[in-house]
Structure 1
Amino acid sequence: MTFQELNDGVTKAAANAPNLGKSIKLQLDEGVIFIDMTGDQARVSNEDKEADTTVTTTVDVLDQLRNGKINPMMAMMSGKVKIKGDMGLAMKLQGLLS
């Protein structure tokens, strides 16, 4: 999976995302995906803005998490995924990556 494929997939999934009143930033090796879920409809951009939760990882690791090849807890414990901010919000990210 490429960064652009991931970005397109998150943008498409965000159309059905609920208003959580929060934002998530995916800080990836190839760029940033910012998901703003504070309005009536979630908006996705590539702006590097402050977010309620920041997930730092790589496109490859996100793809492996999405496909079930890596356990999310093991990915965090091994340092492949770092989460700063609202952990509960990060757990809801799975729906946008499926």
Structure 2
Amino acid sequence: MSDFLEKAAAELNTKLAASDFDGTAKFDIAGEGAIMMDSEGARVADEEAEVTLSADAETFQAIFEGDMNPTSAFMSGKLSVDGDMGMAMKLAAVLA
């Protein structure tokens, strides 16, 4: 398990604590692994989810650190979304 995934999950838990996110989402990070998010929080895991967001580690790091807007990443093709777009939009609000 990579330090990158552990750090990202910890950052996501901080953001989730201040939100009302009630779905399931997975971040699939190329070359690193996956992070699951649900009402229980974020954890390093690879499970079924309502929406899966896929990108490289550099893009995810920029999103987590607030240097890149998730919507901009999607529109520029750096982030792909598979599944429930409504859930992806809720998740974008949590990450903002």
1:15 aligns with: 17
On the 8 A contact 2:16/2:41 being kept in 1, the answer is yes
Structure 1 CA distance for aligned equivalents of residues 93 and 75 of structure 2: 21
Aligned partner of residue 11 in structure 2, secondary structure: helix
Larger Rg: 1
**TM-score relative to the length of structure 2:** 0.73
Tell me the matched-pair count: 90
1:94 aligns with: 92
Point out the structure with the larger helix share. 2
Structure 1 CA distance for aligned equivalents of residues 33 and 82 of structure 2: 17
2:43 aligns with: 45
Percent identical among aligned pairs is 27
**TM-score relative to the length of structure 1:** 0.71
User: For the structure 1 residues 56 and 34, does the alpha-carbon distance in structure 2 shift closer, same or farther, using more than 3 Å as the test?
Assistant: same
1:61 partner letter? T
Structure 2 CA distance for aligned equivalents of residues 27 and 71 of structure 1: 14
2:61 aligns with: 63
Offset at 1:31?
A: 1.6
1:28 aligns with: 29
User: For the structure 1 residues 81 and 14, does the alpha-carbon distance in structure 2 shift closer, same or farther, using more than 3 Å as the test?
Assistant: same
User: For the structure 1 residues 57 and 91, does the alpha-carbon distance in structure 2 shift closer, same or farther, using more than 3 Å as the test?
Assistant: same
Unaligned 5+ residue runs, structure 1? none
